[in-house]
Structure 1
Amino acid sequence: MEFCDDCGSMMKTEGDVWVCGSCGAEKARSESAEKQAVTTQGQEESEIVDTSEVDPGDMGPTTRERCPECGNERAFYEMKQIRSADESETRFFTCTECEHKWREDDH
C-alpha cells in the first residue's frame, strides 16, 4: 500500500507506477520495497477467546454497559487484539450479576 506524498490519499498500482486516485500524482514502484511489505493475507482470525476459567475477582475494571441477558448496568470489560493489527481491538464484557459474556466489535 502506498500513500500520495501530495495529498495523502491511498494510491493504486497501474503497471510500473503508483497513481493517486484523488490528485493524479504518480510515483515509481519499487519491487524491493513491495517484497518487504507486510500484508494481512493468509493470517488467521481468532473468533473465540475463552474467559470461562477466569475468576470474577480477577476480571479487572468495570464499566457502565447494559447486559443483554438480565439488564444489569455494570459489566467487567477486557480489550483484546484478536484480528490483524490494523483493525481495532475487540471489547469483551462479563455481567457483574449473571456472568453472561458478550463481545463488541467496531465495524
Structure 2
Amino acid sequence: MEFCDECGSMMKTEGDMWVCDSCGFEKLRDEAKEAAMTTTQGQEEGELVDMSDVDAAEIGPTVEQKCPECDEVRSVRYEMKQIRSADESETRFFTCTECGHKWREDDH
C-alpha cells in the first residue's frame, strides 16, 4: 500500500506507476520497496482460534450470561482477543462454568 506524498490519500497501481485518484499525483513504483510490503493476498479469512488446550482457570474473569447450551443465565468465563484487523473490535470468547460449552461473540 502506498500513500500520496501530496495529499495523503491511498494510491493505486497503474503499470509501473503509483497514481493518486484524489489529486492525480504520480510516482514510479519501487520493486524493492514493494517486495518488503505486507499484503493480504493468500491470507485465509475466518481463521479458527483453538481454545481447547487452554485450562478453564486461564480463560479469564467471569460474568453472568445466558449459555446457549444450558439455555439459562450462568456464570461464564470470558476472554477478549483481537483476531481481526486492528480497526475492528475484539472478539469475546465465553465458556460456561456449568456445562463447559464454548462460544464467541463478534460485533458486526
- TM-score normalised by L of structure 2: 0.66
C-alpha distance in structure 2 between counterparts of 1:40 and 1:99, whole Å? 35
Is the alpha carbon distance of 1:86 and 1:26 closer, same or farther for their aligned partners in structure 2, counting shifts above 3 Å? farther
Q: Any idea what SS the aligned residue of 1:33 has? A: helix
1:57 corresponds to 2:50: no
Paired residues, number: 105
Question: Paired residue for 1:67?
Answer: 67
* RMSD of aligned alpha carbons: 3.1
Secondary structure in 1 matching 2:73: coil
SS state at 1:27 partner: strand
Map 1:16-35; keep pairs closer than 5 Å.
16-35=16-35
Runs of 4 or more, structure 1, over 6 Å off, are none
* Higher deviation after alignment, 28-37 or 38-47: 38-47
Percent of aligned pairs with the same residue?
63
